[in-house]
């Protein structure tokens, strides 16, 4: 599950299991405490740790047709993979589609069409869109939400009415000698500017307060199979919503446009050449005044993602340990350092001022930090240690990794709580459980001479796990919690505790996401939501303003 359906419950499920695995691993080898640490090779991490300023960044929701985020003014960039249709066949079972090397429809069989979805939901701009394309063929739309009002070769004007049904486009005919390609579906008012400024102004405006953008979901990092640089997405790819993620060129342009530091997460299976070419493009195109956060994949310790299995297999190949879990942690440390060294080589003399090298671990288990940072002195090659310290309410009485609020076993009690009662628990959690989590990780980071940062964080409630007949009511309850004006103060207390525990950069997960049973992650529920109705966004920006003094 990803993007607005990307349930952080994988962390809740895995916490108890991973802690048990780690404890067993620890006992098997004996305590063997780490010896006093040597001085780091450079002072870049010390400078970050000593900086009294606390900054707030944000993760970007992944690009998808069903996302309520408006990143691009060209809506075709959010289109899903081509869906094969055929008269008389069930939906989506129209036979194999023939594609060009770039991913456009090369030809169609008799009676076959190729369909895609560009927008679903009720929170997109209505009005006259401009559809542009190269090639020869016939394009149509499935529903009355998009009506062609004029057309000429290579161009259409389409009247779009957003009602939740969505905008479904079909290629009805295409000339195999000159197939339809390079489709663009431009939102009203941007036909003359989309090529030079691809990002929607409302999207940019809502991101302006933040110091850092973490591109984990934009890069489709989780479960990525990318190995070679030639396999990556580019700006000319048919869509930016594929499993390859958004083109690096767009990531760099967004960071440059907003003058914010980018946080890149490299694919788990990326070759050294991929890493080097990635670093070269960033060096050459990114505003030199911006710092670059470099992280190897995402949550490589988390067995719910394929990168954890990959790291375990590679660690066993290197004989780093005789368990997949232990070998995976050590491989993560080793591969991270290998990647850092490639970036250092590419950036040369500017590496100390421009690179922030990230090692990340499990917030609920600071012991993993010692294993990751301590393996072969990986801490000497890192600047920060990153965690994802989510909050969801007070207590985990049965110690099963599910908080009392999210625990299925407590549903008969939780379902009768009021939003205020749940928020009361969140507020009580800040100086107790949350403080202990912050302080435990901060102590380990300090011992290793690196700064503590948060790669993700925020409120963590889900309802999909409850019995089917309870999901709707629990979703309504948790939606009310996240919409409560009191959440503004909850976020203030949360971030103030982070600051008091000497946390540095904090990245909210995520910018824009509609509430659902899979979670309530967005600081905004939809891109053009009135800020006055977005308490989590208000809490984040309150803290930013209060801590913006130099």
Among 121, 154, 186, identify where a domain stops.
186
Q: Rounded to an integer, what distance in angstroms lies between the CA atom of residue 3 and that of residue 118?
A: 16
Q: Is the pLDDT of residue 216 over 70?
A: yes
Report the distance separating Cα 471 and Cα 411, nearest Å: 10
The answer to whether residues 287 and 266 belong to one domain is yes
- Residue-averaged pLDDT of the chain: 92
Q: Is residue 433 part of a domain?
A: no
User: 95 and 232 share a domain?
Assistant: no
Confidence of residue 217 (pLDDT cuts 50, 70, 90): very high
**Mean per-residue pLDDT for 377-402?**
91
| Closest C-alpha to 261, from 535, 530, 504 | 504
Q: Are residues 64 and 98 in the same domain?
A: no
Does residue 86 surpass a pLDDT of 80? yes
In a domain, 59, yes or no: yes
Asked if 278 and 346 touch (Cβ cutoff 8 Å), the reply is no
Query: What percent of the chain lies above the pLDDT cut of 70?
Result: 91
Establish if 39 belongs to a structural domain: no
Q: Give me the pLDDT at residue 549, please.
A: 65
Question: What pLDDT sits at residue 53?
Answer: 86
Q: Is the pLDDT of residue 192 over 60?
A: yes
More confident site: 244 or 394: 244
Q: Is the predicted pLDDT of residue 115 greater than 60, yes or no?
A: yes
Rounded Cα distance, 297 and 294, in Å? 9
pLDDT of residue 163: 83
Same domain, 9 and 125: no
Angle between helices 272-285 and 324-347 (to 10 degrees): 40
367 and 295 co-located in one domain: yes
In a domain, 31, yes or no: no
Quick: pLDDT tens for 485-495.
Answer: 999 999 999 99
Question: What is the pLDDT at residue 542?
Answer: 98
Write down the pLDDT at residue 165. 83
Q: Is 244 within the bounds of a domain?
A: yes
Residue 212 or 393, more confident: 212
Answer yes or no: do 85 and 65 share one domain. no
pLDDT band at residue 397, thresholds of 50, 70 and 90?
confident
Domain count, the chain: 2
Q: Is the pLDDT of residue 14 over 50?
A: no
Q: Is the pLDDT of residue 333 over 80?
A: yes
Please write the tens of the pLDDT for every residue from 345-379: 999 999 999 999 999 999 999 999 999 999 999 99
Q: Above 70 in pLDDT, residue 117?
A: yes
Residues composing the chain: 550
Do 226 and 174 sit in the same domain of this protein? no
Asked whether the beta carbons of 92 and 112 are under 8 A apart, the reply is no
Q: With respect to residue 445, please indicate whether it lies within any of the assigned structural domains.
A: no
**Is residue 65 assigned to a domain?**
yes
pLDDT tens for each residue of 276-290:
999 999 999 999 999
CATH number at residue 255: 3.20.20
215 & 333 share domain: yes
Dmax (CA) for the chain in angstroms is 75
Tell me: do 476 and 354 sit in the same domain.
yes
| Residue 396 confidence class, pLDDT cut points 50, 70, 90 | confident
126 in any annotated domain? yes
Closest CA to 227 of 288, 286, 297, 292: 297
Average pLDDT rounded to a whole number, residues 137-165 = 94
Residues 325 and 409 in one domain: yes
Containing domain of residue 108, as a range? 75-186
The answer for residues whose C-beta is within 8 angstroms of residue 493's C-beta and 6 or more apart is 427, 430
Q: How far is CA 281 from the centre of its chain?
A: 21
Q: Which of 151, 186, 221 is the last residue of a domain?
A: 186
Residues 124 and 209 in one domain: no
Which residue's entry shows tokens 């505003």?
287
**Pair 116, 243 in one domain:** no
Beta-bridge mates of residue 451: 384
**Tens digit of each residue's pLDDT (9 = 90 or more) over 422-466:** 999 999 999 999 999 999 999 999 999 999 999 999 999 999 999
Q: Out of 135, 159, 186, pick the residue that ends a domain.
A: 186
Predicted confidence band of residue 530 (pLDDT cuts 50, 70, 90): very high
Q: Is 484 helix (H, G, I), strand (E, B) or coil?
A: coil
């Amino acid at each position: 599950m990803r993007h607005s359906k990307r349930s952080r419950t994988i962390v809740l499920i895995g916490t108890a299991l991973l802690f048990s695995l780690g404890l067993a691993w620890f006992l098997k080898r004996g305590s063997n405490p780490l010896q006093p640490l040597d001085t780091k090779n450079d002072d870049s991490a010390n400078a970050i740790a000593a900086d009294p300023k606390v900054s707030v960044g944000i993760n970007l929701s992944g690009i998808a047709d069903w996302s309520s985020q408006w990143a691009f003014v060209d809506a075709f960039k959010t289109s899903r993979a081509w869906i094969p249709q055929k008269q008389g066949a069930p939906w989506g079972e129209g036979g194999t589609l023939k594609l060009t090397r770039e991913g456009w429809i090369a030809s169609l069989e008799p009676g076959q069409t190729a369909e895609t979805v560009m927008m679903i939901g009720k929170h997109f701009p209505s009005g006259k869109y401009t559809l542009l394309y190269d090639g020869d063929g016939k394009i149509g739309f499935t529903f009355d939400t998009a009506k062609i009002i004029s057309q000429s070769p290579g161009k259409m004007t389409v009247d779009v009415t957003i009602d939740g049904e969505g905008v479904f486009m079909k290629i009805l005919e295409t000339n195999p000698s000159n197939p339809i390609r390079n489709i663009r579906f431009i939102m009203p008012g941007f036909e003359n500017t989309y090529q030079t400024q691809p990002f929607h102004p409302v999207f940019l405006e809502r991101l302006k307060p933040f110091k850092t953008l973490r591109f984990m979901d934009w890069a489709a990092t989780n479960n990525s199979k990318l190995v070679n640089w030639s396999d990556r997405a580019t700006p000319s790819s048919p869509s930016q919503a594929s499993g390859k993620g958004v083109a690096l060129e767009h990531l760099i342009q967004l960071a440059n446009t907003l003058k914010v530091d980018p946080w890149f997460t490299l694919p788990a299976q990326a070759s050294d050449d991929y890493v080097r070419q990635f670093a070269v493009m960033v060096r050459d195109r990114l505003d030199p005044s911006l710092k670059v956060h470099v992280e190897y994949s995402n949550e490589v310790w988390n067995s719910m993602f394929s990168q954890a299995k990959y790291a375990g297999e590679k660690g066993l190949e290197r004989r780093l340990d005789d368990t997949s879990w232990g070998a995976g942690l050590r491989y993560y440390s080793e591969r991270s350092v290998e990647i850092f060294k490639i970036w250092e080589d590419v950036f040369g003399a500017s590496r100390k001022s421009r690179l922030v090298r990230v090692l990340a671990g499990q917030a609920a288990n600071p012991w993993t930090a010692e294993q990751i940072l301590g393996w072969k002195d990986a801490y000497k090659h890192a600047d920060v240690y990153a965690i994802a310290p989510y909050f969801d309410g007070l207590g985990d009485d049965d110690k099963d990794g599910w908080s009392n609020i999210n625990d299925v076993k407590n549903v008969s009690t939780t379902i009768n709580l009021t939003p205020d009662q749940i928020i009361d628990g969140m507020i009580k959690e800040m100086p107790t459980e949350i403080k202990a989590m912050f302080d435990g990780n901060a102590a380990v980071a300090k011992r290793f001479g690196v700064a503590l940062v948060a790669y993700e964080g925020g409120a963590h409630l889900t309802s999909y796990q409850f019995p089917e007949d309870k999901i709707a009511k629990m979703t309504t309850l948790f939606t009310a919690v996240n919409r409560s004006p009191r959440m503004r103060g909850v976020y203030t207390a949360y971030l103030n505790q982070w600051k008091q525990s000497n946390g540095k950069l904090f990245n909210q997960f995520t910018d824009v996401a509609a509430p659902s049973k899979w979670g309530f992650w967005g600081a905004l529920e939809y891109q053009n939501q009135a800020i006055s109705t977005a308490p989590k966004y208000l809490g984040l920006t309150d803290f930013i303003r209060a801590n913006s003094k130099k």
